[in-house]
Structure 1
Amino acid sequence: METEEISSGVDMHATDGAKPRRVSGPDIIRDHVTRLPGKPGVYRMFGENGELLYVGKARNLKARVSNYAKIGGQTQRIARMISLTRTMEFVVTASETEALLLEANLIKRLKPRFNIILRDDKSFPHILIREDHEAPQALKHRGAKRIKGQYFGPFASAGAVDQTLDTLQKVFLLRTCTDNIYATRSRPCMLHQMGRCSAPCVGLVPLDEYRDLVREAERFLNGDAETLQQQLVAQMERAAANTDYERAAGLRDRIRALSSVRQSQSVNPDNLVEADVFAIHSEAGQPAVQAFFFRAGQNWGATVWYPKHDRDDTPEQVLTAFLAQFYDDKPVPKMILLNTEIEEPELMTDALELKAEHKVEIRTPQRGEKRGIVEQAQLNAREALGRKLADTQSQAKIFAAVQKVFDLAEPPKRIEVYDNSHIMGTNMVGGMVVAGQEGFEKNSYRKFNIRDEELEPGDDYGMMREVMRRRFARLKKEYEELNAPAAPAEDADAGVAPVEPAVAAPQEEAPRKGVSAPGGRRPDAWPDLVLID
């Protein structure tokens, strides 16, 4: 992939006599167009102070970017983006497919201001059956796949993983304990007494028989439950014929557990072995994207997202951008079912096949079982969005009440709540919880391990003082990284000043509110930050 950065040939600060001349966004874009090749690639538009405004891809960079060279005929959002543009950068790719993959990666990583953004993205949990131990362990895994073993997933939630692990315990009697516990056991644990572990740690099952159980579990996770159940029934009948009633009873319990799991999965379409189902529903300018994950013929859970986008974007545009960003760092299934067509489905298919290195089918079913599953996902998206909008309205009322109680000029957009904790003066930590206009923002939560060795054990005020100083030092650093003018020296601690009296002089009346930011200003990094002690 060839990288080509082209800086503007227009002097933004050229002078006409004594007056500086400010060059408009369309002028800057037109200057770039003169040097662009007619090749596929990705373009980035930057505003003042290097703020990334937009990332886009094109089959023909010159033709695509020339559409931005004049204001007229665009939506209000695009027109504003053009007017704010101060420079552009470009990456030439070998194909439009590569451009789509690169665009999705950059949007997800850099979160440009005018792009559709997949919010609340996270890695999905998997089940890992390890292969680096004499008695393989089944466990929940999230993150990089560095441990040697078989990975099964993705699951939509940790709860779905826990439910499947519970099945593996009941049906296949696999251990879930850590290696340290395994190595130090001298007698079976409670799970063995409950019929959930075969106790390989103390030799109640030979290792070769335990590895057979592991292989059966892998077959189950790969979708071979029916044949597996038939084999267990045959083993139970042979054990009963040989008057080995204890073994027969154990097999009976395993068969019952497996039958219960299969019955709960019987609502799934028979031919939906490996697929992701996505349905989008939009209301009041807010979309919800509901997803179902099917692997090995089983429904491995569901989850919902609320992408950030402009009101002018159509559901088709939102779903297209969502899919490209979603599969940027996640495995691609063989089939993707949607409730609405996306833009350029052939290009999306080519891009996902290039990434996954196997054939991918993107379909919008119109009838049959698959259509029923898609409609079920759409119903879930509609209900989830209804709950989201109700929660947002409730949050708006709460923020309006905060504005009234603390006599603020306008409702806050972000509230940070702090608290301390310790265990009889040891293990001192501070915590920060964040609430935004749409509810709690868990990805912004922070924990502070108290480092000041001179603090008296259990000194809550001293702990809070350290938390405040570290929090606003980080805020000041983020502010400076935006290339904004440095705060005046005499105001450098303005963001901490309203807090210090509350933590340094507990005998005085603490201030009821403070709107704080380095230099006494509100940085773009955390607009409208409200501190309530």
Structure 2
Amino acid sequence: MSSKPSATNSTAAFDPGEFLATLTEAPGVYRMLDAGGAVLYVGKAKNLRRRVASYFQKTGQSPRIALMLQQVATVETTATRSEAEALILENTLIKKLAPKYNILFRDDKSYPYICLSGEEFPRLAFHRGAFDRKSRYFGPFPNGYAVRESIQLLQKTFLLRTCENAVFAHRSRPCLMHQIQRCKAPCVGLISATDYAADVRMAELFLRGRHGEVVEKLTAAMETAAAALRFEEAAAMRDQVRALQAVLHRQYVSSTRGEDVDVLAVACVHGELCVNLAMVRGGLHLGDRAFFPRGEAGATPAEALAAFIGQHYAAHPPPARLIVGADCLEAIAEEGAWTGEGKPLATAAARNEMERAWLAMAENNARLAIETRRRSKSRAGARLDALTEALGLAEPPARIECFDISHTMGEGTVASCVVCVDGAMKKSDYRRFNIAGIEPGDDYAAMRQALTRRYEKVASGEAAAPDLILIDGGKGQHGVAREVLGELGLAFLPSVGVAKGEERKPGAETLFRDTRPNEPLQLSPDHPGFHLIQEIRDEAHRFAIAGHRARRAKDRGRSKLEDVAGIGPVRRRKLLAQFGGLAGVMGATIEDLCRVDGISRKLAEEIHQQLHSS
């Protein structure tokens, strides 16, 4: 790959003819810059000279492109070995530079997956984030609801475990999930590894879209069990088949084949664009998700859809086919549709009545998403205006940050910081702080540490300052917040303490303002601004509790038995089952331990010494 800068510079008038004469015909990426050196637009081309020339030779350019060309002072190019390489480089630069005139979509890497873990008895789990090589992942799914619905079906049908490994390793008797027939209790040996693996294979086939094969195998096994007079086993398989058939009959409304396709539609209402992505996996419609472009207004719907396809499938695995509207195919072909590995995407119009129904549904959902967003913005604006007036702020707070502390009698203390931007929660900006080095249960010290760690970065210019700070706590916690802000030179930032009402009754909260610390404020329960404060405070509380529970579980999850050499999962389960839990094991004598199958005298002495060493 080679880089070729333009023959122009930002201090001279741009001469397209002179520049194009020196431009290569190789594939690559071009960057249009203004006189100040800011990148206006990034694009890719199969032929750099032909593509860049088209901007200056075409008539009737869209208003967006025409306005951009008036500001171009220089063009830089980078030649690549192939158009696929150009696509990858283009998307990298778009994400890094966020050019003003590109149609930008949020780089959403948070699609949920179903995970089958890599242990002897694999766990069925909801997953987001990086992949582990030992586990198997199925998806992506458009939203968390689709994942949870699928997990519930698989639990009900194949009875796979969903418990955390720390819980699984230390069970001494079956849990509630076994009692309600949602798990076969591998934790206490009620199913062999071989039989459990067979259930895992059937679940994996189902997740890969091979539904018919799963039903056929279960039906055959049911008939075999019935012929052998194993009627309870046959009845269990009959229930499995019925559960699967019910889902297949409910969702197989559009396709009789186990297809994997994405349906992409775009809508424009009142000048606002939305791309709707619907996912069909194994012939089942899993739901959809709406995406809104960021960037210069004036893009056509077809341009927005082409930009979305280029950015989305460079980062996410594509299905076998993409279904799009026929009116968008030309724009998509002009941009080129490639995967992140440089393979062409199979993009086509709907080819039958079923696919046209999918597309029409996606288009309607795109329009509904725009309307919902407009109403949400209007409601958020009204709540911000009401809050501004109630608190006596100079202008509506564009960014609100709220802090809360969570712990259990001083254990696992975690502080949360949630962020609300323009009246809507912005989860990508949320932060948690593991609190350490304080007296357990000292909420004031915990709040001081969290605020100091957060606003040191604001004071040094590393992070943007909020327009309003909410502190979940009374006058004391708010006083600590004002002290920290003063010490950091940020006393000009407005803040409010939110104290819970009598008996922690919602709607009876008292507000403490930094401008009038001795004049508590109570807003009416139906005040729009008060509703916004409650929503942000409740989200901070939820986020703090989730972080605290995770930290507490991590601290508590490791058993002393795991540190004993020679004690693996099988022996550990036998010990726990024999003595009714860890407390029973700790109370056992060396002679008691020796009576457990597989525990020698020497190992019993090591276990006893390890458990009583501290």
Tell me the TM-score normalized by structure 1: 0.78
More displaced stretch, 430-439 vs 291-300: 430-439
In structure 2, relative to structure 1, the CA distance for the partners of 1:417 and 1:145 (3 Å cut) is closer
Q: Which amino acid aligns with 1:167?
A: L
Is the contact made by 1:272 and 1:294 (CA closer than 8 Å) also made in structure 2?
no
Give the match's secondary structure for 1:292: strand
- The residue correspondences of 1:307-386 to structure 2 (distance < 5 A) are 307-339=293-325, 340-346=327-333, 351-352=338-339, 355=341, 357=343, 360-365=345-350, 367-386=352-371
Give the match's secondary structure for 1:226: helix
Give CA deviations for 1:90-130 in whole Å, capped at 9, x if unaligned: 21022334323422332234322221011262331222223
- The residue correspondences of 1:294-305 to structure 2 (distance < 5 A) are 294-305=280-291
* Aligned-pair Cα RMSD in Å: 3.8
Give the match's secondary structure for 2:417: strand
Q: Does 1:150 find its partner at 2:154? A: no
Aligned match of 1:511: 515
Aligned match of 2:185: 199
Aligned match of 1:249: 235
Is the contact made by 1:419 and 1:431 (CA closer than 8 Å) also made in structure 2?
yes
Aligned match of 2:606: none
Unaligned runs of 5+ in 2: 465-485, 498-511, 518-535, 538-614
Give the match's secondary structure for 1:135: coil
Give the match's secondary structure for 1:27: coil
More displaced stretch, 307-316 vs 92-101: 92-101
- Aligned residue among 399, 402, 425 for 1:415: 399
Aligned match of 2:92: 105
Is the contact made by 1:293 and 1:300 (CA closer than 8 Å) also made in structure 2?
yes
Aligned match of 2:612: none
Q: Which amino acid aligns with 2:360?
A: E
More displaced stretch, 402-411 vs 260-269: 402-411
More displaced stretch, 312-321 vs 148-157: 148-157
In structure 2, relative to structure 1, the CA distance for the partners of 1:389 and 1:500 (3 Å cut) is closer
- Aligned residue among 428, 433, 450 for 1:443: 428
Is the contact made by 1:8 and 1:28 (CA closer than 8 Å) also made in structure 2?
no
Cα shift at 1:68:
6.2
Q: Which amino acid aligns with 2:205?
A: R
Cα shift at 1:327:
0.5
Q: Distance in 1 between matches of 2:75 and 2:487?
A: 36
Give the match's secondary structure for 1:418: strand
- The residue correspondences of 1:67-106 to structure 2 (distance < 5 A) are 77-78=64-65, 80-82=67-69, 84-85=71-72, 88-106=75-93
Cα shift at 1:51:
3.8
Q: Does 1:466 find its partner at 2:460? A: no
- The residue correspondences of 1:156-195 to structure 2 (distance < 5 A) are 156-195=142-181
Q: Which amino acid aligns with 2:5?
A: I
Q: Distance in 2 between matches of 1:120 and 1:408?
A: 34
Give the match's secondary structure for 1:477: coil
In structure 2, relative to structure 1, the CA distance for the partners of 1:418 and 1:247 (3 Å cut) is same
Is the contact made by 1:54 and 1:113 (CA closer than 8 Å) also made in structure 2?
yes
Task: Give the paired residue count.
Answer: 482
Give the match's secondary structure for 1:496: coil
- Aligned residue among 202, 206, 215 for 1:216: 202
More displaced stretch, 249-258 vs 62-71: 62-71
Q: Does 1:128 find its partner at 2:115? A: yes
Aligned match of 1:233: 219
In structure 2, relative to structure 1, the CA distance for the partners of 1:186 and 1:275 (3 Å cut) is same
In structure 2, relative to structure 1, the CA distance for the partners of 1:502 and 1:223 (3 Å cut) is closer
Cα shift at 1:325:
0.5
In structure 2, relative to structure 1, the CA distance for the partners of 1:142 and 1:510 (3 Å cut) is closer
Aligned match of 1:517: none
- The residue correspondences of 1:12-23 to structure 2 (distance < 5 A) are 23=11
Q: Which amino acid aligns with 1:237?
A: E
Aligned match of 1:529: none
In structure 2, relative to structure 1, the CA distance for the partners of 1:30 and 1:438 (3 Å cut) is farther
Tell me the TM-score normalized by structure 2: 0.69
Q: Which amino acid aligns with 2:94?
A: I
Q: Distance in 1 between matches of 2:106 and 2:160?
A: 37
Is the contact made by 2:268 and 2:301 (CA closer than 8 Å) also made in structure 1?
yes
Q: Does 1:55 find its partner at 2:59? A: no
More displaced stretch, 173-182 vs 63-72: 63-72
Aligned match of 1:38: 25
Is the contact made by 1:71 and 1:82 (CA closer than 8 Å) also made in structure 2?
no
Is the contact made by 1:416 and 1:432 (CA closer than 8 Å) also made in structure 2?
no
Q: Which amino acid aligns with 1:420?
A: D
Q: Distance in 2 between matches of 1:403 and 1:410?
A: 6
Aligned match of 2:490: 496
In structure 2, relative to structure 1, the CA distance for the partners of 1:456 and 1:165 (3 Å cut) is closer
Q: Distance in 2 between matches of 1:346 and 1:8?
A: 30
In structure 2, relative to structure 1, the CA distance for the partners of 1:227 and 1:351 (3 Å cut) is closer
Is the contact made by 2:14 and 2:73 (CA closer than 8 Å) also made in structure 1?
no
Is the contact made by 1:9 and 1:32 (CA closer than 8 Å) also made in structure 2?
yes
Cα shift at 1:356:
6.5
Q: Distance in 2 between matches of 1:5 and 1:349?
A: 22
Give CA deviations for 1:346-371 in whole Å, capped at 9, x if unaligned: 4666623x8375x7421122641110
Give the match's secondary structure for 2:275: strand
In structure 2, relative to structure 1, the CA distance for the partners of 1:356 and 1:467 (3 Å cut) is same
In structure 2, relative to structure 1, the CA distance for the partners of 1:183 and 1:417 (3 Å cut) is closer
In structure 2, relative to structure 1, the CA distance for the partners of 1:193 and 1:65 (3 Å cut) is same
Judging by fraction of residues, say which structure has more helix: 2
In structure 2, relative to structure 1, the CA distance for the partners of 1:71 and 1:85 (3 Å cut) is farther
Give the match's secondary structure for 1:459: helix
In structure 2, relative to structure 1, the CA distance for the partners of 1:126 and 1:448 (3 Å cut) is same
Give the match's secondary structure for 1:351: coil
Among all aligned residue pairs of Structure 1 and Structure 2, give the percentage whose two residues are the same amino acid.
34
Give CA deviations for 1:313-334 in whole Å, capped at 9, x if unaligned: 1100000001111111110111
Give CA deviations for 1:347-405 in whole Å, capped at 9, x if unaligned: 666623x8375x74211226411101111111111112111111122223334445555
Q: Distance in 2 between matches of 1:184 and 1:315?
A: 56
Unaligned runs of 5+ in 1: 13-22, 480-491, 514-531
Q: Distance in 1 between matches of 2:429 and 2:186?
A: 43
Q: Distance in 1 between matches of 2:6 and 2:342?
A: 35
Give CA deviations for 1:255-308 in whole Å, capped at 9, x if unaligned: 222222222222131236110011111111111222111122222332111122
